[in-house]
Structure 1
Amino acid sequence: MAIAQITVNTLLTQALHGLVFGMILLLLSLGLSLIFGIAGVVNFAHGALYMVGAYVTFVVSSEFTNVLGGLVAAFVVVALIGGIAEVLVLRPLYDRDALFQLLATFGMVFIIDGAIINIFGVETHRVATPEFAQGPLMLGDLIYPKYRLALVGISALFTIGLWMLLEFTDYGVRVRAATFSSEMVDALGTNTKTLLTGTFMLGAGLAGIAGGFAAPVFTVYPAMGLNIIILVFIVVVVGGLGSFRGAVIGSLIVGESIMLGRVFISEYSAVVPYIAMIAILMVRPHGLLGREMEVE
């Protein structure tokens, strides 16, 4: 598409697409950062949990014609899977080299992918939008799907709710303290194992509901987790590992760079996030809002 042929509506539509995709990435990156912050685990299976959330939403919406119920089920089911994985797979590895944890989560990807393919096959599936958000919405001269705008609003509410949970509750205080010294938190009377499992479940649940939100927008298919997890890692690196505000900014940068890149350089839009990441890291090696971390 020649630049002279690009209309204002085209730019606005792609910018909104970028915002929608950015909010999905945000829920994923917040969950990933939450797990890393308290457990120190780079959870490669986070994308697979996102995929499970999409499939749970598909099953519930197909069987009971209730997409909202599917979204709730996606959060609950994936949170439970995350809790079980933390207790059975990762907890025995916390005292060992981080490479063992990375390989364990990498192995979980193949287990989950294999289970999905055995149950659902390799076909793609569609999920209907919830009734309250069906149809288009007029934004001046621009017509845009109502569900996608609702997704942005609901994701923003989830983000604000998570921020308030971490900033203004006793649980949030304990989580933030545990990211600096879990031994000290344990010595002060908090059961860090329970705290760790609960936080892992919350992070996994965010991945699950992100998959549920994405299901009506994109098709549901076995490789969808692998396709998005690299972008989530880019978000975390760009924003700064462990930074809440960094995750918000990084998600918007990656989402918008991909969608607007399709307008100007459609053939190379897939590499735009990588270029943005390299450029930012050259100026800010720890990400936009990341802090320097000591490696022991």
Structure 2
Amino acid sequence: MSLKEIHEILVDIDLEKNDHFVELYLINKKNTEEYYSYRLTVEKKLQEELIEIVSTAICNIQDKNICEYNPIGQVDSVIEKCNLDYIKNAENVLSSIEDDSPNRLESLPEIKDIHSYCTKITKGDISIISFRRFNKLRKLRAGFIGTVVEGRFKSLDGELIGLYNDVDIIIFNNDVFTLNHIALERIFDIGIQFKEKAKETIQDIKDKDIIDNFDKFEEDALNNLNVIKRLTKIKENQTLPKIFDNFENVPKVIEYFGLNIELNQSQDKIIYVDKTQIEDITLLMNDSYYETIIAGVPGIDKLK
């Protein structure tokens, strides 16, 4: 289903009907795989505002191009999409929303421990779920915050919860639309998933024995988040077999682009010295260096 169709569903919602309702959840992350969600009772006016926030967010992006989610980064003016199955931790987060433990609200943690919040909008058997990273509103350094209720001024005690007027992620059926690239990583802890894929790529490189001082290369690679993402993309692109099969072209690429990569005397191995080489090596492994067909202009596709 397209974003336009999702927007039409939201616009058509009538909260007076019994099959329409809005739920708001605060999400607390215990560890990288354990999440707890706390469902809050939402008054009708706020339900309408939450629907409007999601509807407006979709309206603002529904005509933008949509591309597959790229671990390395997001292209400007493009909305990324992936299948729910792509996100290994999604089931843990979404399961926490479905868990209606009777004492859950009574064990609500401190506001500082809230990880993100989620809006679930339901129309019949259709659900549209959105996520946003959490925003804690701090108290005034001096004085206090209050509101007027029926002509009386009432102070607002405790910490305040702030809801943004936009969203980071929208989930419908099995499609995950990412409006904020970094939010997908942070809300679903997808960085852990990237590291697992990166380790698989590292093992593939190790098996081919094409890097001298490999242990140091592995250590530096797995301590650099950008490199981890690129190694993840290398696995997804399946470019390593092409590099292995065409390694005789590597010296040409190194010379043409002036890369900070040194080869051994027989030119069948990369000599790894330090982390200053890591970007050039991983871009090479992803076959990111190119020359345009018409003008013969060299370039680097860092988002490949």
Using structure 1 for the length normalisation, give the TM-score: 0.22
- Per chain length, whose mean CA-contact separation is higher, i.e. which structure has more relative contact order (CA < 8 Å, sep 6+)? 1
Larger relative helix fraction: 1
Using structure 2 for the length normalisation, give the TM-score: 0.21
Larger relative strand fraction: 2
> Based on CA coordinates, which of the two structures has the bigger radius of gyration?
2
